[in-house]
A and B are shown apart, each in its own frame.
Chain A
Amino acid sequence: MTLPRHDDVTEYLSQFSQQIEDFSKEKGVEIKLLKNKEVTKANFEKVIKSQNYKMVFFNGHGSEDSINGYKETILQAGVNDVLLKDRIVYARSCHAAVILGVKCTENSKEGCFIGYDRPFQFYVDTQWIGNPLKDNTARLFLESSNLIPISLIKGNSTSYADENSKRQMLKNIRKIILKPDAESFKLAEALWNNFEGQVLKGNPLAKLE
């Protein structure tokens, strides 16, 4: 799991990923964390080549054909996407499903890539920007996306993980639009963006076990 922290966005992504780390430990699933400045292309490639992890979870900025680590591109279509062949990938990054997701799963019966074909969005409440885990606005977005790796760690298939996460997004939308707040529809709109934009490429039946 990559956890670069170099701006407020990656700080939020990384802090909310603690839930996944804790759940992995609880279930006895070994997890390798690449944190902060460790999230370089060289380190990522070294870990992937030396340890046969079945799942890779990326947090970080992205584009249609790449994902960033700590201020540098660590994965790029046509450069090192082959390293993810036959693995299960979740990319909490903007746009990466468009080209990278396709490249990672082509010519692979086993591999699966869950990501976004548009920008992944979330709102933060500035009151909590120094203490992200207390931010219940960001929680609506980041914990529903955490359900992808958590569902997989539980032994579910990639399609279940994808659908479970989307189901939680819809539940969150329904909960917030019942509140007569000025922010309700803004949050619903961004959650809807993630709901519509979250896509699965490759094997929908892939599992960790």
Chain B
Amino acid sequence: MTNEEINQEMKEVVIMRIESMPSNLKLSIGNNRSLTKEEMIRHVKEEDFTGKQIINSHISFMKAVARGDFTRAITSV
């Protein structure tokens, strides 16, 4: 995963994806207690360290899906 420059479009896509998350889930990421989706969205909007980690994770996943890496991997087991 590369820490490429984060642009507004990326942030909006990530926020849309987080908004679709069920409210009963919380994410453990980084040196925080686990985060609600509202807290995740706030971090993404502020583009702080945690927000960048969340954005990079989403972008990395979407790229893996687009490249076919994701499908190849899950059909290999």
Contact = CB atoms under 8 A, between A and B. Distances in A.
Interface of A: 7-9, 12, 61-63, 68, 94, 118-119, 121-127, 129, 137, 167, 170-171, 173-174, 177, 181-183, 186, 188-190, 192-193, 195-197
Q: Is the interface of A mostly helix, strand, loop or mixed?
A: helix
Contact of A121 (B1, B28, B64): B28
A163 to B, nearest CB: 10
A201 B32 CA distance: 26
A123 B61 CA distance: 16
A121 B21 contact: no
B22 A183 contact: yes
Interface residues of B, number: 29
18 contacts: A8-B33, A9-B33, A61-B31, A94-B31, A118-B56, A118-B57, A121-B28, A122-B27, A127-B24, A182-B20, A183-B21, A183-B25, A186-B25, A189-B57, A189-B61, A192-B64, A196-B1, A196-B60
A177 B74 contact: yes
Given A123-B25, A186-B25, A63 B34 contact: no
A139 to B, nearest CB: 13
A174 B25 contact: no
B74 A126 contact: no
A121 to B, nearest CB: 5
B58 interface: yes
A158 to B, nearest CB: 20
B56 to A, nearest CB: 7
A138 to B, nearest CB: 8
Contacts of A61: 30-31
Contacts of A183: 21-22, 25
